[in-house]
Chains A and B, each alone.
Chain A
């Protein structure tokens, strides 16, 4: 009897709950005026109708958001993931490092994705980042890297790297293109 109880608990946690989660839908769509805090001093204005799967809405959380944080926005099958962490280098160096990590991971998983050349991306605040597009078997998308200098940061060691990975099926990416571009351009450091 205890053994069956343990087995039932394992099935509940590793099979039933993930299955319920897979079926569950988001009930808290983002609205106009919401602001997402990507990291301490760095924000993004999300498009209305998207869902915040992980991260922090500015002014809505009690826990402080640190300098290293992960944010995930979703809309249908399109995923907009932002990773922020201290980074002492250029956007191009950040993208090179991210690509190296991705190559290592793809090699381990036996997958590959073809990338385009790099091109500049500029936020409305005037911060210039660098991007490249990729095409995989079922998904396509872009990787964009920025390096921000948040409020009060006077030395290179307090600069914040921000990596955005947007991916999804081709048709949905096309449909949400304006939202995606708008959200990327909205990223800003507090000044």
Chain B
């Protein structure tokens, strides 16, 4: 039992599971840089929003409502996939805010515009028309979003402990950027069509349909790559792999943005976007599967003492610390799958409570154990 308890404490220590995220760290320069750039980004975006609100309020409202709902769906999905040592909500919110406000307003808007204009001035408007976005946005935007992950890594080094955390935090940062950009495209679409709100809705439909191989996925891959590049105490740095993944995110972003110019008038115009989507999804799934084992091991070490106590069965521990298909297989094999699901949910909450209480046998942990027994009783 003492060995298991020691392993539990070690798992909590190594994973940073259960720790709170405190954004306000006046002694930390990263906090002030975060604040300055979020405020600066807000100021720049406010200039745009005030224009949209004055002349294209219908398109702006449509964009905010539609993409707000899309954001909720993706937030749920990312949280659903982050089922082991979950990224704290405040850290996820700080990442989302960085992507939505700082990466767009303080980096990408002005940077992209300047680079596109420089391309037009140096190589001609036709070159900029074809390749400007493909050559500027992937670099400016991926670095801008990645900068947020780097700052949050400095602000929460004990919470970002594996490439899996980089993947999930990157997805939150990228989603913030994506939703902010989507909303601006909705009203800009109307502005470019003499205020026609129908164009805004076309934009909303197209960008919703194309929302899977987009910023949340680019930045998730970039985030995992960044963590591999710098390394963590339990995850040695793999600079080649890390740099490769960050470059891959940029390359896929560039190919997506340049797909119209690459395809030109060819009937095979769908090939580039389809390939980009397939590569992004495959790499995302590969990273997810490759980085999960350490998270699963932490879950196993955290909950192993509960098996000794008889709160959790060995089969339930395997399901808790297993892949999602293992979890599904377990619940479906039980006489009452719904009860089994409720037990697993209660045990997941127990794991979080144990982590929050640093492995101590507190009243809250006792209550969580009672909840497991209650769920088991049906």
Do the two shown chains form a genuine complex with each other?
Answer: yes
A-chain residues with CB within 8 Å of residue B194 when the two chains form the complex:
83, 85, 87, 94, 97-98, 101, 161, 163
Alpha-carbon distance between A108 and B55 when the two chains are bound, in angstroms: 9
Residue from the list A14, A27, A70 in contact with B192, Cβ < 8 A:
A70
A57 touches B126 (CB 8 A): yes
- Name the A residues within 8 Å of B54 (CB-CB): 104-105, 107-108
A62 and B124 CA atoms in complex are apart in Å by 14
Question: Are B33 and A63 in contact (CB-based, < 8 A)?
Answer: no
- CA of A85 to CA of B368, assembled, Å: 61
Q: How far is the CA of A163 from the CA of B140 in the complex (A)?
A: 32
- Chain B residues lying within 8 Å of A24, measured Cβ to Cβ, are 117-118, 121-122
User: Which A residues from 84 to 99 make CB contacts under 8 A with B?
Assistant: 85-87, 94, 97-98
Interface string of A8-24 (1 = CB under 8 A from B): 01101110011011001
A interface, size bucket: 35 or more
Given A62-B261, A104-B55: A7 and B33 interface contact (C-beta under 8 Å): yes
| 9-residue interface stretch from B147-155, B214-222, B330-338 | B147-155
In the assembled complex, the Cα of A94 lies from the Cα of B40 at a distance in Å of: 37
Give the residue of B117, B153, B264 whose beta carbon is less than 8 angstroms from that of A21: B117
Q: Closest Cβ of chain A: how far from B360's Cβ, in Å?
A: 34
B285 at the interface (CB under 8 A from A): no
- Cross-chain contact B114 with A17 (CB below 8 angstroms): yes
Per the bound structure, the CA–CA distance linking A131 and B110 in Å amounts to: 33
Complex contact B118–A6 (CB within 8 A): no
Measured between C-beta atoms, what is the minimum distance from B38 to chain A in Å?
A: 11
B124 touches A17 (CB 8 A): no
Min CB distance A84 to B, Å, is 9
Residues of chain B lying within 8 A (CB to CB) of residue A21:
113-115, 117-118, 121
- How many A-B Cβ pairs are below 8 Å? 157
Interface 9-residue window, one of A47-55, A132-140, A182-190: A47-55
Asked if B76 lies at the interface with its beta carbon under 8 angstroms from chain A, I say no
Which residue of chain B has the shortest Cβ distance to A94 in the bound complex? Answer: B194
Additional 14 contacts, C-beta under 8 A, given A4-B33, A61-B261, A62-B260: A2-B150, A3-B33, A13-B108, A14-B110, A25-B121, A28-B124, A53-B120, A54-B129, A60-B126, A63-B129, A68-B192, A85-B196, A98-B194, A105-B51
**Interface pairs (16), CB distance under 8 Å:** A7-B37, A20-B118, A28-B123, A28-B124, A53-B125, A55-B125, A61-B126, A62-B264, A85-B193, A85-B194, A85-B199, A97-B195, A100-B195, A101-B195, A104-B54, A105-B51
Q: Which residues of B contact A (CB under 8 A)?
A: 28-30, 32-33, 36-37, 40, 44, 50-51, 53-56, 106-108, 110-111, 113-115, 117-118, 120-126, 128-130, 140, 143-144, 147, 150-151, 153-154, 189, 191-196, 199, 260-262, 264-265
